Amino acid sequence: MTSEALPFVETALRVRYAETDRMGIVYHANYIVWFEIGRTEYCRSAGMPYRAMEDAGVLILVTSVECRFRRSARYDDAIRVRARMSELSSRGCAFAYEILGEGAILLADGETRHVFADAAGRLRRAPAELMEPLMRFREVG
Amino acid sequence: MTSEALPFVETALRVRYAETDRMGIVYHANYIVWFEIGRTEYCRSAGMPYRAMEDAGVLILVTSVECRFRRSARYDDAIRVRARMSELSSRGCAFAYEILGEGAILLADGETRHVFADAAGRLRRAPAELMEPLMRFREVG
Amino acid sequence: MTSEALPFVETALRVRYAETDRMGIVYHANYIVWFEIGRTEYCRSAGMPYRAMEDAGVLILVTSVECRFRRSARYDDAIRVRARMSELSSRGCAFAYEILGEGAILLADGETRHVFADAAGRLRRAPAELMEPLMRFREVG
Amino acid sequence: MTSEALPFVETALRVRYAETDRMGIVYHANYIVWFEIGRTEYCRSAGMPYRAMEDAGVLILVTSVECRFRRSARYDDAIRVRARMSELSSRGCAFAYEILGEGAILLADGETRHVFADAAGRLRRAPAELMEPLMRFREVG
């Protein structure tokens, strides 16, 4: 199953004035913030809100990020963030993202990789009660 | 003693691309971030680094902020942040700030008010070992 | 007519992970960004989207901001931003804001003051076609 | 010549409170902002300040970014950003970065890729007067 076939969760947002830069477009690091918004909504849709995971002592650390910028977003544009969980094991996971602008044009895409950690930042395995809903959601959305 | 007579600590910074907006100038909320940089360096100069204060269980919560924007800063401008502790009691403190641009032009000024809290966010009085260096520094710089 | 009696526009948002700080709460300068989101949605509701105003050569510069922080917001909290245009003349305007958290608790309130400027940043009067919809909206919402 | 052999420019900065998140560490997207600070200082050292380049109509658009996060930075840490221009042609360039924390520990490394554009965002070739100082600096630092 290719990454594109996996269920995704789509989140809508509007470009904030604060997110633009003097080129008149969205400052590129903000796409990485939007990726995280996509992850948050993905976990909520999968029945595992990320805040609840943290409160239960399972942190998802970011170990790498990649982003390819294809077109520019502008102030007040309506944006959609699509997030998929592209990999999942008891030690960590990966997400793939697409950022769509007005007219569903692809503005950027990318990936993040993650490991699970405890509240002190030590690597840990994710418990079954976290893994199962995420695995189920990956199969059927 | 007027606020202007109090010793101040000056911190230099350069405007980041990320701090500009589509007007081509620094996005206004970033001045509030610069105020905080001024506070951090003020506390360090007074011999009470803010990180050490937090590690010792004394948090400085922000209860209000005011900022007047007079002129615009631009990408790559050399900025100086001047911070003074304008009030101090065992319950809280206040800071006054000036943001200076190229040629020492006043770009913005403002104030923040603070209360002391413990790690759980409950109000507390600052202990003597924190108050004394701050009070001494306010008198002689 | 007191400020509270003026029509307001309410915008919903969710606290982003990026907006928190090491105290575990929303970093205070982000409330100023939320004020701006409130302004953007107010202007849209009044029939004068701010991007269209800028494209037509009318910029709204921020000349001052005040914010009082009453309670903390946390990651993933559902937030509502209420914005009212509290003053309006051909030279500028002012907005009043309330930030509400879960259970409609007041987290922060504040004001911003503004002048109208042209694309080069020079002060200008707002044209009638901009003033009229804003004045009408202030009366009846 | 490997990328590591190329001359680099090192910039010092201190972690801002605003850059931390509720995990108590620097929010990951801020490393991408630090990369840009490294680029800015690299161009200045090469005799081609980026603001002057933009004013002369040569914009450097970001087409991709990669970052690997190895260790966490914390509030008030002294950070060094090392930037190298790893590729350069008349159409674009690439940079490689290392983020070093206290004790010169590697916190993160990454790359960005860029194309040259004009003020309207159209792709363009960089003129000789820009290329030459950059090429010379890449050889001897």
Q: Please tell me which residue of chain D has the smallest CA distance to B13.
A: D13
Burial class (CB in 10 A: 0-12, 13-18, 19+), A32: buried
For C59-99, the pLDDT digits (tens) are 999 999 999 999 999 999 999 999 999 999 999 999 999 99
Establish how many alpha carbons lie within 13 A of residue C9's alpha carbon, considering only the half-sphere containing its beta carbon: 23
Reduced 3-state DSSP string for chain C: CCHHHCCCEEEEEECCHHHECCCCCECCHHHHHHHHHHHHHHHHHCCCCHHHHHHCCCEEEEEEEEEEECCCCCCCCEEEEEEEEEEECCCEEEEEEEEECHHHCEEEEEEEEEEEECCCCCECCCCHHHHHHHHHHHHHC
Distance from CA of D114 to the nearest CA of B (A): 16
To the nearest 10 degrees (0 to 180), the angle between helices A29-45 and D29-45 is 170
Cα separation, D42 vs A103, in Å, equals 38
Chains in contact with A via at least 3 Cβ–Cβ pairs below 8 Å: B, C, D
Give the CA diameter of chain B. Answer: 47
Contacts of D71 in chain A (CB under 8 A): none
Give the contacts of D42 (CB within 8 A, at least 6 positions apart).
Answer: D8, D9, D83, D84, D85, D95
Distance from CA of A7 to the nearest CA of B (A): 33
Cα separation, B100 vs A18, in Å, equals 22
Least CB–CB distance from A18: residue in C33, C51, C54: C33
Residue D2: which pLDDT band, with cuts at 50, 70 and 90? low
**pLDDT score at A2:** 62
Cα separation, B61 vs B71, in Å, equals 28
Establish how many alpha carbons lie within 13 A of residue C89's alpha carbon, considering only the half-sphere containing its beta carbon: 6
C32 touches chain B (CB under 8 A): yes
**pLDDT score at D139:** 87
Least CB–CB distance from A18: residue in C36, C75, C76: C36
Residue A81: which pLDDT band, with cuts at 50, 70 and 90? very high
Contacts of C29 in chain D (CB under 8 A): 18
For C10-35, the pLDDT digits (tens) are 999 999 999 999 999 999 999 999 99
Cα separation, D114 vs D98, in Å, equals 18
Cα separation, C27 vs C35, in Å, equals 14
**Binary contact (A21, B25; C-beta < 8 A):** no
User: Which ranges in chain A belong to alpha helices (H)?
Assistant: 29-45, 50-55, 128-140
Contacts of D76 in chain C (CB under 8 A): none
CB pairs under 8 A between A and C: 33
Chains in contact with D via at least 3 Cβ–Cβ pairs below 8 Å: A, B, C
End-to-end CA distance of chain A: 14
Residue B2: which pLDDT band, with cuts at 50, 70 and 90? low
Which residue type sits at A76? D
Least CB–CB distance from A76: residue in C14, C40, C75: C40
**pLDDT score at B5:** 80
Going by the DSSP 8-state scheme, the letter that residue B21 receives in this structure is -
Residue A141: which pLDDT band, with cuts at 50, 70 and 90? confident
DSSP chain D: --GGGS--EEEEEE--GGGB-TTSSB-THHHHHHHHHHHHHHHHHTT--HHHHHHTT-EEEEEEEEEEE-S---TT-EEEEEEEEEEE-SSEEEEEEEEE-GGG-EEEEEEEEEEEE-TTS-B-PPPHHHHHHHHHHHHH-
Least CB–CB distance from C32: residue in B29, B61, B63: B29
Distance from CA of B31 to the nearest CA of C (A): 9
Distance from CA of B36 to the nearest CA of D (A): 8
D64 touches chain A (CB under 8 A): yes
| Mean pLDDT score, A13-29 | 97
**pLDDT score at A29:** 98
Mean pLDDT of chain C: 95
Residues of chain D above pLDDT 70, percent? 98
Burial class (CB in 10 A: 0-12, 13-18, 19+), B128: exposed
- Tokens 């007040």 appear where? A76
Nearest to B85 by CA among B2, B7, B1: B7
Cα separation, A44 vs A61, in Å, equals 17
Distance from CA of D107 to the nearest CA of B (A): 20
Q: Please tell me which residue of chain B has the smallest CA distance to C58.
A: B23
**pLDDT higher than threshold 70 for residue D1:** no
Least CB–CB distance from D64: residue in A36, A63, A69: A69
Nearest to D134 by CA among D37, D52, D44, D3: D44
Least CB–CB distance from B64: residue in C29, C36, C69: C69
Cα separation, C75 vs C27, in Å, equals 11
Cα separation, B27 vs B16, in Å, equals 11
Least CB–CB distance from A18: residue in B21, B25, B75: B21
**Binary contact (D76, B36; C-beta < 8 A):** no
For D56-92, the pLDDT digits (tens) are 999 999 999 999 999 999 999 999 999 999 999 999 9
Q: How many CB atoms lie within 10 A of CB D17?
A: 21
Distance from CA of C18 to the nearest CA of D (A): 6
**pLDDT score at D52:** 92
**Binary contact (A63, D69; C-beta < 8 A):** yes
**Binary contact (B75, D36; C-beta < 8 A):** no
D17 touches chain C (CB under 8 A): yes
Q: Residue A56: helix, strand or coil by DSSP? A: coil
Q: Which two tokens stand for residue C116?
A: 């109208």
**pLDDT score at B4:** 72
